[in-house]
Chains A and B, each alone.
Chain A
Amino acid sequence: MFGYEFYLDPSRCIGCQSCLKACEECETHRGVSMINFDFIDRPDGIATAAFVCFHCEDPTCAQVCPADAIKVGDDGVVQSALKPRCIGCANCVLACPFGIPKLVPEYEQMMKCDMCYDRTSIGKKPMCATVCPSQALAYVKPDEIAALRREKPVNTFYFGEQKIVTKVYMMAPAETDFVSVDVMDYTWEPEDAYAN
Chain B
Amino acid sequence: MQTKQQKTPLWREEFSVFKNDERYVSRRQLTKFLTLTSLAMFAGNIWILVRSLWKGKAAGLPGVAIARAGEIPVGGVKLFQYPVQGEQCILVRTAEETYAAFSQKCTHLSCAVYYSKESQDLVCPCHEGHFSVHDGSVLQGPPTRPLPAVTLQRRGDELIAIGMTNTGAD
Contacts of A70 in B (CB 8 A): 17
Cβ-defined contact, B19 with A74, below 8 A = yes
Most chain A beta-carbon contacts within 10 A, residue among B1, B15, B20: B1
Tier of interface size on chain A: 10 to 19
B85 CB-CB contact with A under 8 Å: no
Cβ-defined contact, B19 with A72, below 8 A = yes
- Report the minimum CB–CB distance from B121 to chain A (whole Å): 64
Q: Which of A62, A65, A72, A162 contacts B1 (CB 8 A)?
A: A162
Cβ-defined contact, B1 with A71, below 8 A = no
- Report the minimum CB–CB distance from A141 to chain B (whole Å): 25
Interface set, chain B 8-25, CB cutoff 8 A to A: 15, 17-20, 22
B29 CB-CB contact with A under 8 Å: no
Cβ-defined contact, B19 with A163, below 8 A = no
Cβ-defined contact, A72 with B18, below 8 A = yes
Give A60's nearest chain B residue, CB to CB.
B1
Contacts of A62 in B (CB 8 A): 17
Give B17's nearest chain A residue, CB to CB.
A62
Q: Which of B3, B17, B19, B20 contacts A59 (CB 8 A)?
A: B17
Contacts of B18 in A (CB 8 A): 71-72
Give B24's nearest chain A residue, CB to CB.
A68
Q: DSSP majority for the A interface?
A: loop
Interface set, chain B 77-113, CB cutoff 8 A to A: none
Cβ-defined contact, B1 with A58, below 8 A = yes
- Report the minimum CB–CB distance from B99 to chain A (whole Å): 72
Q: DSSP majority for the B interface?
A: mixed
Contacts of B20 in A (CB 8 A): 74
A105 CB-CB contact with B under 8 Å: no
When chains A and B are docked, how far (Å) is the Cα of A31 from the Cα of B64? 90
Give A59's nearest chain B residue, CB to CB.
B17
Cβ-defined contact, B19 with A63, below 8 A = no
Contacts of A59 in B (CB 8 A): 17
Q: Which of A63, A71, A163 contacts B3 (CB 8 A)?
A: A63
Most chain A beta-carbon contacts within 10 A, residue among B3, B15, B17, B19: B17
Contacts of A72 in B (CB 8 A): 17-19
A73 CB-CB contact with B under 8 Å: yes
Give A63's nearest chain B residue, CB to CB.
B17
Contacts of A58 in B (CB 8 A): 1
Give B20's nearest chain A residue, CB to CB.
A74
Q: Encode A54-68 as 1/0 by CB contact (under 8 A) with B.
A: 000011001101001
Contacts of B1 in A (CB 8 A): 58, 162-163
A-B contact pairs, 14 of them (CB 8 A): A58-B1, A62-B17, A63-B17, A68-B15, A68-B17, A71-B17, A71-B18, A71-B22, A72-B18, A72-B19, A73-B19, A74-B19, A74-B20, A161-B2
* A-B residue pairs, 8 tightest by C-beta: A62-B17, A68-B15, A72-B18, A71-B19, A73-B19, A72-B17, A74-B20, A71-B17
Given A68-B15, A71-B19, 19 other A-B contacts at CB below 8 A? A59-B17, A62-B17, A63-B3, A63-B17, A65-B17, A68-B17, A70-B17, A71-B17, A71-B18, A71-B22, A72-B17, A72-B18, A72-B19, A73-B19, A74-B19, A74-B20, A161-B2, A162-B1, A163-B1
